[in-house]
Amino acid sequence: LEGPVAIGLVAVGLTALVNAVNSMDGIDGLIGAVAMVVAVVGIAFAGPAGWPLFIPIAGACAGFLVWNWAPASIFMGDAGSQFLGLLLGTALLAGSTGSTGSPGSIDVVPIAILVAPLLFDTGFTLIRRARAGRDLFAGHREHLYQRLVHGGVAHRSVAAGYAAATAVTGILALAWAELAALGQAVVLVGLFGVGMVFAAWVSQREREAAAAMPAA
């Protein structure tokens, strides 16, 4: 796609990523760890053209995590997380070259795969709230990672799990261009299936935690 349509899609995509990063910054260490993994993968994903952006981002996130890892003593806040989301998104777009290799060509699918843990959690939560008739713009604590914490999983474990998941999707993103069409379809279907299994497991943890609570 070219021209205004491409510009519009990029604007929507960047806005979605900025809001996903912001909304996922709700427990100690999670978004800092995930962003660090994205930046490290971005170093390989973008090649030398992206190093001036991704290396400082990865270093900044690593330094930040020293104090943001649970129990955290410093926090990003909205200004920090939104800026980080915008910086990651623009760095990925600027460093990506499409499968045709033509100037200005961008492969958006591997970018989406790389940040799939963020996008899936945010998208699943929005759809779940919409189906329940809740205000999509109201504050809440219904993200999958927040529900995991409510289910008794420690902040550190949840943050480490999302970072590990991002490392896996990062490997898939790097391998994307080398996969045949069937392999790419398997990756997409597999990621969605794993996401739905994870969402079901979160619900199970919630039910177990609620059942274990003493009666009032």
Question: What does the pLDDT look like over 112-123, one tens digit per residue?
Answer: 999 999 999 999
Q: Specify the pLDDT at position 63.
A: 96
Exposure pattern of 174-183 as b/e (b: 16+ CB <10 Å)? eebeeeeeee
Separation between Cα atoms, residue 127 and residue 86, nearest integer Å = 23
Residues of the chain with pLDDT under 70: 1, 96-106, 215-216
Q: Specify the pLDDT at position 101.
A: 46
- Cut 0.75: pTM above it: yes
Q: Specify the pLDDT at position 100.
A: 42
Q: At what angle do helices 51-68 and 77-95 cross, to 10 degrees?
A: 150
Q: Specify the pLDDT at position 201.
A: 96
Q: How far is CA 180 from the centre of its chain?
A: 25
Q: At what angle do helices 30-46 and 155-175 cross, to 10 degrees?
A: 20
Q: Specify the pLDDT at position 96.
A: 65
What the block records as the tokens of 120 is 């899936």
What the block records as the tokens of 165 is 């998941």
Average pLDDT, the chain: 90
Q: Specify the pLDDT at position 98.
A: 52
**Which amino acid belongs to residue 163?**
A
